Chain A
Amino acid sequence: MKKLLLALALLAGTAQAQTLRIGMAAQDVGRLDPHFAVSTIDRVAVAWMFNGLVRFPPGSIDPSKMEPDLAERWESSADGKTWTFFLRRGVQFHGGFGELTADDVVFSLRRAGTAATSAFSADFRAFESVEAVDPLTVRITLRENVPNLLGIVTNYSGGYIVSRRAATERGDGFARAPIGTGPFALERVTPNASAEFVAHPQYFRGAPQIQRISYRFIPSDASRDLAFQNRELDINYGRADQTWLTRTRALPGVTVEVFEPGELTILNLDTTRPPFNDLRIRQAVAHAINRPEMVRFRGADVSREAQSLVPRGYLGFTADNGLLGFDLARARALLTEAGHPNGITIRVVHTQLPEMLNGMQVIQQQLRRAGITLDLQVVEHATFHQQIRQNLSPLVYYAAARFPVADIYLNQFFHGRSRVGTPTAVTNFSHCDMADGQIDAARVSTNPAEQLRLWAEAQRLLVTAVCGVPVFETLLVFARRNTVDYGYPLTGSMSLGPLITEATTLRP
């Protein structure tokens, strides 16, 4: 019997050679069309298949270090409203879809900027036109300045370039048979099991050293960890949890990388409705939050204290904003001043997603010490997203990472235009609009120093008004066997996972 099993195991194992096996905490991929890739599992995979005009150096999310990708160089007009990109010659799409031309770039950027064909169309609001000057030159004209044009055409969200012919011919089917120029091409998706990628031998930076990637969907943390320990995975999606990190780091031949971007968790307080239309109650919440305690709970290696309403390290972030510190006595005094000497109970809608629920339960305990009782209405995650956008919760616990420039975060979370319940809503749950002037002025400013000053001022205004209480930031965690060498130090990834490049290697 044992011989039979071993024979079966050997037969089953032969197909595994030369394949990089990556375990991901998800049940399935969604849409592998880069312009609809919004979930972590999709973003990670899309980054292996597509390029932008420019890119973050692999392993970095520093917007000041953008480097050429499909464009070998670019130039901009003095007023910053006209940008010209000169494309590399001879870049080949997957699957024999031919050579990249300016037509593909024009098509891709227009497609990414159209609400019907992209989840990121809002990023392209300032685009007036995108046109092909010649087969290898693209010109972008802006209506108004944007803080970081390169950030829109980089290898992130709407910046990915698709094959015009493939997208046109395949229509909706492009999401399941995407064609890009990246080092890996999608071979097939087995629903609920895996997505298989093969190396793109004509990749313009050289043929990848890894021949295949097997991207496995393993939603159970325990099973994924067991598979990693059992050497059935080379790379494992990690948990932002100190216990997990310590345990995994102790495994022989394993390296755990903790990297940017940090996901900032904010308690957004609806300033237009009771009880948070009273500044004193918002301040009481701010004083009741004990950030060091929360970081101890999450783990010092995977989280850090939040310092502003913009994540740390983003261009424009400032810690000099008057953030209120932990002071239980002051919190209780403010509640009493506001007419609640015996405390206050607030009904809050929250998700049952375990990592968010755990965090909220700690916050619930912290607020209780100050006399603020959160009556949590725990709902399923999709329901949570719908209800918080219907203004059904005066306090919204929300965690997010965005493109690392303050403009995006401030616009989406704290600009009046983004207030939930309005036709232009995004994620402004606090309904604050007192910093709109600064946010708008910074957006169109061509003076970097002035821009930084305006963003800092906006943060000071929003923090003083306690539109939200920043609590902590959670970093990304992935574990790999030491047989895997990414080919670069992994300190950050805008695709939210390790970028597998032509230089990535896998030793037997």
Chain B
Amino acid sequence: MMGFVIRRLLAAIPTLLAVLTLVFIIVRIVPGDPAMVILGDQATPEAAAALRSRLGIDVPIWTQYLRFVGAALTGDFGASMVTSRPILAEVGAVLPHTVDLTLAAMLVGVAVGVPVGIWAALHRNGAIDVAARLLSLIGLSFPVFVSGIFLLLAFALHWRIFPVIGAADLSDIPDRLYKLVLPALTLGLVMAAYITRVTRSAMLASLSEDYIRTARAKGVPWRRVVWVHGLRNASLPIVTVVGLYVGILIGNSVLTEIVFNRPGLGKVIVGALNQRDYTMLQGLMVIYCFLIVVVNLVTDLLYGVLDPRVKT
């Protein structure tokens, strides 16, 4: 197991290097001058040149690249060009919010999606199945900035149960949990819609297998047939989807973060892109890529746990 983990982490190094290089090139291809963003529209070319020199973006691109890779390999991502705050501190400040939201949304998605998917599969083409499919289609079709605003209107403005501003104080656990409810529901219900569909089809495939018929013939209780024999064998595609979705959520929950005014990695990435904050973007992408590698690794390890035929 440990050998597998080490091999996977080593295999991630070329991926990280490729990402480093691609991000470095892409952020510089995009038009827009960080010096102009920082200095504003009244800046003289002299001031812009002085700032470019201070930021180190006036030297040849190869020198910039080597400096960046060299620093990144030592874990030094530098400071944001715009705010001059250290990148690791910036990421450290927002990452807990992203992790909170991702895990909570995953929890909602799995807690709702898996049972509903199983229920729909057990009532194939019946009213429950049709309703579940319709609801999951609605869940997938609703953009989070619409569903989020609806939730805010209902639970914040009408019933006044939750706040509109979802940025919590990290040291205040009740505040953190309280402000997580609506964003987690918004994202989690979309995830639940995906998981419902995947669970339904995986369960349908699983329940038509010979071993299910055998189990029933042996007299195994139906509940056990479904949850142990059926679900366990259907769980690989579900874990795959959850793993992929968690990876997406880490960076792509930006709309939810904006609607609920939460800090988060996605929001920082978009902000850095708008402001042409090269150093911040580069640092963020490396960290993001690393998180994706970790999520994929955990997913692979779960495969081994769920299905002994998968060798780790």
Chain A residues proximal to chain B, CB less than 8 Å: 2, 5, 7-9, 11-12, 15, 27-31, 36, 38-39, 115-116, 118-122, 172-173, 175-176, 189-194, 216-220, 222-224, 226-227, 229-230, 232-233, 379-383, 385-387, 389, 400, 402, 412, 423-427
Q: How far is the CB of A479 from chain B (nearest CB, A)?
A: 15
Q: Which of B6-14, B166-174, B228-236, B243-251 contacts A (4 or more CB under 8 A)?
A: B166-174
Which of B61-69, B111-119, B261-269 lies at the binding interface? B261-269
Question: Which of A39, A191, A223, A386 contacts B263, CB < 8 Å?
Answer: A191
A sample of 15 more A-B contacts (CB under 8 A), given A116-B53, A226-B152, is A9-B178, A11-B172, A30-B82, A115-B50, A189-B85, A191-B94, A192-B94, A218-B261, A220-B145, A227-B164, A227-B165, A380-B274, A382-B33, A425-B45, A427-B42
Residues of B within 8 A of A190 (CB): 93, 167, 263
**Which residues, 29 to 43 on B, are CB-close (under 8 Å) to A?**
30-33, 36-43
Given contacts A11-B175, A190-B263, A192-B264, is CB(A115)–CB(B44) below 8 Å?
yes
User: Could you pull out 14 A-B pairs where Cβ atoms are within 8 angstroms?
Assistant: A9-B162, A15-B169, A27-B274, A31-B82, A31-B84, A176-B85, A192-B264, A193-B167, A194-B167, A222-B259, A232-B163, A381-B274, A382-B37, A424-B44
Residues of B within 8 A of A191 (CB): 83, 85, 90, 93-94, 263, 268
Contact B41 A12 (CB under 8 A): no
Whether a CB of chain A sits under 8 angstroms from the CB of B309 is no
Q: Contacts of A118 on B, CB cut-off 8 Å?
A: 47
Cβ B84 vs Cβ A223 within 8 A:
no
- Complex-state Cα separation, A427 to B44, whole angstroms: 9
Q: Using Cβ atoms and an 8 Å threshold, which residues of chain A touch B270?
A: 27
Docked complex: B15-64 residues within 8 A CB-CB of A: 30-33, 36-47, 49-51, 53-54
Which residues of B from 72 to 107 have beta carbons under 8 Å from A? 79, 82-85, 90, 93-94
Contact A192 B32 (CB under 8 A): no
The closest CB in chain B to the CB of A222 belongs to B149
Interface pick from B134-142, B153-161, B197-205, B299-307? B153-161
B258 within 8 A of A: yes
B194 at the interface (CB under 8 A from A): no
A142 to B45, CA, bound (A): 23
* Number of chain B residues close to chain A: CB under 8 A: 66
Across the two chains, which residue of chain B brings its CB closest to A42? B40
Cα–Cα, bound, A194→B170 (Å): 13
State whether A385 touches B267 (Cβ < 8 A). no
Scoring B84, B168, B262, B276 by chain A CB atoms within 10 A of each residue's CB, the highest score goes to B84
Check if A216 sits within 8 Å of B40, measured CB to CB.
Answer: no
A118, chain B: closest CB distance, angstroms = 7
| Residues on A with beta carbons closer than 8 Å to the beta carbon of B271 | 27-28, 192
Point out the residues of chain A lying under 8 angstroms from B93, CB to CB. Answer: 190-191
Q: Does B186 contact A (CB under 8 A)?
A: no
Is B31 in contact with A232, judged by CB distance below 8 angstroms?
no
Q: Are B40 and A29 in contact (CB under 8 A)?
A: no
Q: Is the CB of A119 within 8 A of B267?
A: no
Say yes or no for B179: interface residue by CB 8 A criterion: yes
B275 at the interface (CB under 8 A from A): yes
Interchain nearest-CB distance for A411 vs B (Å): 10
CB distance from B80 to the nearest CB of A (A): 9
Instruction: Select A30's contact among B38, B157, B163, B276, beta carbons within 8 Å.
Output: B38
Contact (Cβ within 8 A) A386 B33? yes
The CA of A9 and the CA of B263, in the complex, are separated in Å by 19
Q: Is the interface of A mostly helix, strand, loop or mixed?
A: mixed
Please tell me if the beta carbons of B165 and A122 are within 8 angstroms of each other in the complex.
no
- Is B291 in contact with chain A by the CB < 8 A criterion? no
Q: B45–A232 contact, CB under 8 A?
A: no
Which A residue's beta carbon lies closest to that of B170? A190
**Which of B38, B50, B145 is the one whose CB lies under 8 Å from A31?**
B38
Distance of B27 from chain A, by nearest CB (Å): 11
What is the distance, in angstroms, from A230's C-beta to the closest C-beta of chain B? 5
CB pair A28 B42 closer than 8 Å: no
Chain A residues with CB below 8 A from B90, complex form: 191
Across the A-B interface, give the 9 residue pairs with the lowest CB-CB distance, nearest first. Answer: A38-B40, A382-B32, A8-B178, A12-B175, A192-B263, A227-B164, A193-B167, A116-B50, A115-B47
User: CA of A382 to CA of B262 in the docked complex: distance in angstroms?
Assistant: 25
How many whole Å from A186's CB to the nearest CB in chain B?
A: 13
- A288 to B198 alpha-carbon distance, docked (Å): 58
Q: Are B83 and A30 in contact (CB under 8 A)?
A: yes
Kindly state the separation between the CA atoms of A8 and B168 in the bound complex, as whole angstroms.
12
Q: Judging by beta carbons under 8 Å apart, are B84 and A176 in contact?
A: yes
Interface residue B177 (Cβ < 8 Å from any Cβ of A) = yes
Q: A30-B83, A175-B84, A223-B258 are in contact. Are A121 and B44 (CB under 8 A)?
A: yes
A426 vs B43: C-alpha distance in the bound complex, in angstroms? 7
Chain A residues with CB below 8 A from B79, complex form: 172
Contact A175 B174 (CB under 8 A): no
Q: Which of B43, B149, B156 sits near A230, CB closer than 8 Å? A: B156
Q: How far is B53's CA from A480's CA once the two chains are assembled, in angstroms? A: 43
A230 and B160 contacting across the interface, CB-CB below 8 Å: yes
Is A8 within 8 A of B160, CB to CB? no
Are the C-beta atoms of B167 and A119 separated by less than 8 Å? no
Whether A230 pairs with B51 at a CB distance below 8 angstroms is no
CB distance from A349 to the nearest CB of B (A): 10
Q: Which residues of A contact B178 (CB under 8 A)?
A: 5, 8-9, 11-12
In the complex, the answer to whether A119 meets B261 with C-beta atoms within 8 Å is no
CA distance A28 to B257 in the complex (A): 13
* Contact call A223/B47, Cβ cutoff below 8 A: no
Contact in complex: B44, A227 (CB < 8 Å): no
For A229, the chain B residues whose CB sits under 8 A away are 157
Q: Are A232 and B165 in contact (CB under 8 A)?
A: yes
A29 touches B157 (CB 8 A): no
Find out whether the CB atom of B84 lies under 8 angstroms from the CB atom of A121: no
Q: How far is the CA of A219 from the CA of B79 in the complex (A)?
A: 23
CA distance A29 to B271 in the complex (A): 11
Question: B169: which A residues are within 8 A, CB to CB?
Answer: 15
Mask, B185-211, CB within 8 Å of A = 1, is 000000000000000000000000000
Expressed in whole angstroms, the Cα–Cα distance for A224 and B261 within the complex equals 8
* B54 and A116 contacting across the interface, CB-CB below 8 Å: yes
Given contacts A8-B175, A119-B47, contact A385 B94 (CB under 8 A): no
- Establish whether residues A226 and B50, one from each chain, have CB atoms under 8 Å apart when the complex forms: no
